Amino acid sequence: MLTEKYMDFSKLVIYQIYPRSFMDSNHDGIGDLKGIEQKLDYLQELGINAIWLCPCYKSPNVDNGYDIADYRDIMDEFGTLQDMKDLIKAAHEHGIKVIMDLVPNHTSTEHKWFKESKKGKDNEYSDFYYWRDEPLSDWTACFGGSAWEYCPERGQYYLHSYAIEQADLNWDNPRVRDEMCAVVDFWVDLGVDGFRIDVIDQISKEFPTRNCFGPHLHEYINQMFGREKTAHLFTVGECWASDMEEVRRHCAAERNELTTLFQFEHSDLGRDTKYERRPQSLTAARDILIKWQNIADDNDLLYSLFTDNHDSSPFLSRMGNDQELRYESATCIAAMFYTLRGIPFIYQGQEIGTALPNYNSIEDFDDIEGINQYHADLPVFGEKKAMERINFGSRDGFRRPMCWSGEAYGGFSTVKPWLTTNSRYQEVNLEADRASEKSVFRFFKALLKLRLNTPAILYGSLNVISRPEDPFFVFEREYEGEKYTVICNFEEESTISVPENTEVVLQNYLDRAETFRPYEILVVKHN
Ligand code: GLC
Ligand code: CA
């Protein structure tokens, strides 16, 4: 049985906003907080009840805001702290909770702590970062190159797990922990309802081996979120390497660490390494979902239900047919994830079936990771293939401005946006979608409404009916005598029997046929 607190969290539907690309209110080509505020009616109509904002803090933007220079202030392009207060207030008035992105593992090298720390060993911030006389040679940074950078001013090397401009904080220093708790409290006082915590599994480190889950990880998370002031918050951790035991340790209700975490086993589907396509059936996603649903059920945990985020190209384009069956695939994928137990996350644009764009020039890219990869690829693969790889794999794939209409720049801005508009914007945009008989947006609305009004979908047990060898996914959800069957057919046409004595409560094809057509889904309620 889920605890009462977790049953309450189960009613969340979280919409992830990439602020830079959501809506530009003041025509400078960059999305901003006022732009988000303008779209709250839209989000309310969609039926979500929480937004997670990717980092909005003061930042030199080497890694799009994940390099924070001041945790208590807003990035100039996004607006002011007052705008944030207004947004929180307006969101709450719309019945929408606000979840901030917290980046505790590293700061920008422009952060005051780092600027002080690099001055020398007797500075009061000296131990806020990891300084070494020699680099630990086998440590590489996630964005390429060594993870140790020499700082001439201090005459030592500092650790950066990501970009050179993102220095890792030394969490073994109690002052760092106190500072980060104060940052959390600052935002709680401003009214935020929860946090998504960036690479949380890396904050406790072990030297010289390089491990996630350092020896003090759980203690540190508990210190942040297990306090009286924070224990009520919704928290979701980004954990790249969690196995079952770790998930249990992080998310069991009584531990007061995280409400849930992102578990990424399914995110590499449809690709071999990040940059190469690998054709794969949705049955692979089904099997991973079943595995983690069962773990969550057995342990009374909440699983996070997501396909997309700002770090990877659209799942739809990797695992579905984003051409003539774009609507069918987008809705099928949504139905199979969001009728399960856990916390649904919708990434901006997913609700209109945003698909992977294509460009011919490196000028159309911004993602530091993708661009570094492109330059590494050039000598190995040549220009054409390197472009193909960055188009497929770069994080820009789903970071491009939201397409609200078929107007110039997709109606996101009246001027050229910071990042080239999705090349398919005339075909894939909200206005066109709404006008279409096959509207992904309308399907999402119906799906979320069904979810939030159906205890069996929110809390029910899962009973998988389809067999592993079936090219589809059929399961039942049952709670307090109410039962639903969800049928998700995948790529091929299939014969699937619909249980008798049921009524249809959701479908993505406009009519019914003898067989189930590609990506057809059906949810029925048992009478
Ligand atoms: C996470 C973020 C990603 C960022 C990285 C470093 O993986 O999702 O966008 O680049 O952490 O902060
Ligand atoms: Ca703007």
Q: What's the CA-to-centroid distance between 337 and ligand 1, angstroms?
A: 23
- Answer whether residue 248 shows pLDDT above 70: yes
466: DSSP letter: S
CA distance linking residue 130 with residue 147, whole number of Å? 11
- Answer whether residue 445 shows pLDDT above 90: yes
Provide φ and ψ at 41, rounded to 5°: -60, -40
- Answer whether residue 166 shows pLDDT above 70: yes
Say how many C-beta atoms besides its own lie within 10 A of residue 238's C-beta: 21
Nearest CA to ligand 1 atom 12: 66
Selection from 416, 369, 363 nearest residue 387 by Cα: 363
Residue 61 CB contacts under 8 Å (≥ 6 apart), including other chains: 67, 75
162 close to ligand 1 (CB < 6 Angstrom):
yes
Provide the mean pLDDT of the chain.
Answer: 96
372 close to ligand 1 (CB < 6 Angstrom):
no
CA 445, 450, 455, 461: dihedral to nearest 10 degrees?
-100
- Answer whether residue 460 shows pLDDT above 80: yes
Average pLDDT over residues 186-191: 98
- Answer whether residue 247 shows pLDDT above 90: no
Q: What's the CA-to-centroid distance between 188 and ligand 1, angstroms?
A: 22
Q: Which ligand is nearest to the CA of 370?
A: 1
Tokens of 324: 């003539």
Average pLDDT over residues 256-276: 93
Listing DSSP states for 201-256 in one string gives GGSS--SSS--SS-TTHHHHHHHHHSSTTTTTSEEEEE-TT--HHHHHHHH-GGG-
E strands of 311-459, at which residues? 343-347
Centroid of chain to Cα 109: 25
Residue positions annotated with a catalytic role: 198, 238
Q: What pLDDT, on the 0 to 100 scale, is given for residue 334? A: 98
Average pLDDT over residues 113-124: 97
Indicate which atom in ligand 1 lies nearest the CA of residue 161.
Answer: 6
